[in-house]
Amino acid sequence: MTDLHLNGRKALVTGGAQGLGEGMARALAAAGARVAVADVQDDLGPKVAESLGAGHGFVHLDVTDDAGWEAAVGQAVDLLGGLDLVVNNAGIEITSLFVDLDPAAVSKQLQVNLLGTALGIKHAFRAMRPGGAAGNGGVVINVASVAATIAFPGIGVYSATKSGVDRLTRVAAMESGKLGYGVRVNCIYPGLVPTAMGAGLANDVARLGLFPSPEEAVGAVIGLTPSGRLGEVTDMADAVVFLASDAARFINGVGLPVDGGMGM
C-alpha cells in the first residue's frame, strides 16, 4: 500500500488565500509538500503561507493574466526549488437567472474559471515537461464542481464553466501523454461547502426566489445528497492530496466526484 505522503513535492495552489484553496494548501503541507500559495489577495495570501511554516511562500497571481502566470510559476520554482504539482482552484460564481444575465458577469466567470484554468495547465506543462524549469513531470489537479454534473437553478454560467474545466482536464491529460510530458491531469467535483462562496450561493438563490430561504436552499442540497450533509473543506483537500500522491499514479484524465453522491 502506497502511503499518501508528499514528501519532497513542490506545489502551487491558486486561490490559496481562503476557502477551499487555503484548505488544500494546508493539507498538502501537512502531507509533506512545500507549497506556494498563489492569489490576488496580497493581504491574506502571505499570512496563510507564513502560517504553513518554513519552506512555504506566497506568489501574487491573477489567473487570467498569461504574463502573470509565467512570472508566478518562475517565482514558485525559485522559492520551492522545483515544481511538480499545480492545483487550479481559483474560481468565482455569480448567481443569476438566465432572464437577467449580465454579459460582464458572464465574461468574468469565463475568464477566471475557464481561461484561468487553461493558463494554469499551459504554464504547469511548460515548467514540468522535459526541458522545462522544473522538468521532472508532475500532476495538475483542476477544481471543477458538482455543478458540472447537475442542473441547479441560478448557476447556469458557472455550471457551464465547470463543465468546461472537465473537458480541459481530459484533453490536457491526452496531450501530456501523447507528447511525453509526464504530467497527470485530473479534476475534482466538489459538492456544496459552507465557505464564503457556498454561503453566498444559498443567499443568492433565496434572494432570486428560487427557494423560500437560504436555509431551505441548503436543505434542498442536503436532500439531494445520499451522504446527508454538506461537504467540508477537508473532504476536498484530502481528495487533492490523494490525486497528488503516488497512490493515484495510474489515475489520469478523470473527474473525481467529492460530493457525497449528489451528482451521481
Active-site residue list: 158
Three-class HEC string of the chain: CCCCCCCCCEEEEECCCCHHHHHHHHHHHHCCCEEEEEECCCCHHHHHHHHHCCCCEEEECCCCCHHHHHHHHHHHHHHHCCCCEEEECCCCCCCECHHHCCHHHHHHHHHHHHHHHHHHHHHHHHHHCCCCCCCCCEEEEEECCHHHCCCCCCEHHHHHHHHHHHHHHHHHHHHHHHHCCCEEEEEEEECCCCCHHHHHHHHHHHHCCCCCCHHHHHHHHHHCCCCCCCCCHHHHHHHHHHHHCHHHCCCCCCEEEECCCCCC
